[in-house]
A = this chain, B = another copy of it.
Amino acid sequence: MVAEIITIGDEILIGQVVDSNSAWLASRLNEAGVSVGRITSIGDDPAVLIQTLDEASLRADIVLMTGGLGPTRDDKTKQTLSRYFGGKLVLHPGALENVKRIFSITNRPLLESNIRQAEVPDNCTVLLNKQGTAPGMWFEREGKIYVSLPGVPYEMKALVIEQALPMLKGYFQERLSPVLHRTLVTTGIGESFLAERIAPVETALPPYIHLAYLPRPGMVRLRLSAYGSEYPPGRSEGELEAELDAFTARLADLAGEYVIAHQDIPVPEIILNRLKDKGHTLVTAESCTGGYIAHLLTQIPGASEVFLGSVVAYANQVKAWQLGVRQTTLDRFGAVSRETVSEMAAGAREKLGGDYAIAVSGIMGPGGGSPEKPVGTVWIAVASRDQLQAEKFSFSGERPQLIERTALAALDMLFHFSGETD
Instruction: Report A's interface with B, CB cutoff 8 A.
Output: 12-20, 22-30, 35-43, 48, 106, 154, 212, 214, 283-284, 286, 289-295, 297-299, 301-304, 307-315, 317-318, 321-322, 351-353, 365-367, 396-401, 403
Contact = CB atoms under 8 A, between A and B. Distances in A.
30 contacts: A13-B37, A14-B26, A15-B23, A15-B24, A15-B26, A15-B30, A18-B20, A19-B19, A19-B23, A154-B397, A290-B294, A290-B299, A290-B307, A291-B295, A291-B298, A294-B294, A294-B312, A295-B295, A308-B315, A308-B318, A309-B311, A309-B312, A309-B318, A310-B311, A310-B314, A311-B311, A311-B312, A315-B352, A321-B352, A322-B352
A48 B39 CA distance: 12
Given A41-B38, A398-B154, A318 B15 contact: no
Contacts of A307: 290, 314
Nearest to A312: B310
Given A24-B15, A39-B13, A41-B38, A367 B312 contact: no
Given A17-B23, A310-B310, 18 more contacts: A12-B26, A14-B26, A15-B26, A16-B214, A38-B42, A39-B40, A40-B40, A284-B312, A290-B307, A299-B399, A301-B365, A301-B366, A304-B314, A308-B315, A311-B312, A317-B353, A321-B351, A322-B351
A37 B401 CA distance: 31
A29 B12 CA distance: 13
A15 B19 contact: no
Nearest to A38: B42
Most chain B beta-carbon contacts within 10 A, residue among A214, A310, A312: A312
A313 B309 contact: yes
B35 A13 contact: yes
A15 B28 contact: yes
Contacts of A353: 315, 317-318, 321
Given A291-B292, A315-B309, A22 B36 contact: no
Given A290-B295, A299-B400, A39 B23 contact: no
7 residue pairs, one from A and one from B, having the closest CB atoms = A290-B298, A15-B27, A291-B291, A291-B294, A15-B26, A309-B318, A310-B312
Nearest to A216: B16
A32 to B, nearest CB: 12
A28 B15 CA distance: 8
A233 to B, nearest CB: 27
Contacts of A286: 291
Contact of A322 (B15, B36, B298, B311): B311
Contacts of A23: 12, 15-19
A214 to B, nearest CB: 5
Contacts of A40: 38-41
A106 B299 CA distance: 34
Contacts of A351: 321-322
Contacts of A48: 38
A351 B29 CA distance: 52
Contacts of A13: 26, 35-39
A284 to B, nearest CB: 8
Contacts of A106: 396
A18 B15 contact: no
A399 to B, nearest CB: 6
Contacts of A366: 301
Contacts of A283: 318
Nearest to A288: B298
